[in-house]
Structure formats: structure tokens, C-alpha cells
Amino acid sequence: MRFTPLPLAGAYLIDLEKKEDERGFFARYFCFNEFLDHGLNKHWVQMNTTLSRQTGTLRGLHFQRPPKAEAKVVRCLRGAIWDVIVDLRQDSKTFGKWCNAEINDVNRTMLYIPEGFAHGFQTLMENTELLYMHSEFYSPEHEGGLLATDQELNITWPLAITCNSDRDRALPTLEQLQPIVL
């Protein structure tokens, strides 16, 4: 696996190192030792999947607060997404900053999201399916969110938003949100 640091400390793009032959390829998605070498979470307790039927669907920005804050690894199994993370760590030099990556079923890139970040994405294709690994169990009383269309964040979503949940449209802005203290 190749780990490429993103501009927000602790976040990485992870690319597969494929061993290819006439049959196709073999690659690792996870290696305890390689995650350890990069100082990343090595303990995963839950895996989830999402399917978004429409191009332009917006999901997020979601996170969990301590003591149930979670790291995530996200991979696109089918389709394509424009993936965004926002640093919500109170003491971070990049608090309130965001970065993005296109993740799809062709590049097979994964995104490592550390604790203290909000995560969301917009689908670039119909029937896009994601796989998530989570370092913490889902805890409804610790879930949080950030308005993905917040003017202060100024995230430039690549497509018109065709589908978004009522819950996500009602999330607080960065100004209304209490920063995450880890």
C-alpha cells in the first residue's frame, strides 16, 4: 500500500500496490504493520456500506464525538465519488479547513479519515456503492454533523445536488458547531 499524506494532518490517501498477472491482480486493503508504521488506527470494529442511486447525491458531513470519535477508511466499490473531509479538531492548525479526493472503482484509492474529522461525499455516477471501516461502534448519542453547503466552508461541490436528506440539510454550520476535543 502507498500512503499519501493529505494537507490536513493525519489524513491519507491509500493506494493499492497491485501484483498483476494475466489473471488480474492481487492487493492488500489493510495491513496492521503498515498502518502501525504510519501511526494510523489499526483496530476496526465495524464495516458499513452505502448505495446512492442518483448522480449528484450528497451525503454528510458526518462524525462522532468523543468518547466515541472514530477513524474511518472509505473505499468506492462501484461508481465514483467526490469525497470531502473537514478538520474539526479544536487545537488543530487546520481547524475548519477541508480537502477532497475523487475516489472511484477504477483508481481503487481509499481515504483514511482520522478521529475529529467530518466526512461527506457527492456521487459522480449512478448506483455508487461505498465500503467503510470504522474504529468505533455507531453511537447515536455521539453522532454529529456539519452542513455540507455552509457558506463559511465554501465547499465547491462538483455537481448540482440532486438528492440530500432532510437531516443533512438541517445540520449546523461551522460557526454553530462546537469543535471536537480529542
SS3 16: coil
- Given 62, 112, 119, 134, which residue is catalytic? 62
- Given 12, 112, 132, 134, which residue is catalytic? 132
Identify which of 75, 76, 96, 68 has the alpha carbon closest to the alpha carbon of residue 8.
96
Main-chain phi, psi angles of 54, to 5 degrees:
-100, 140
Distance in angstroms (rounded) separating the CA atoms of residues 114 and 71: 4
Rounded to whole angstroms, the maximal C-alpha distance in the chain is 55
Active site residue 62: yes
Active site residue 112: no
Active site residues: 62, 132
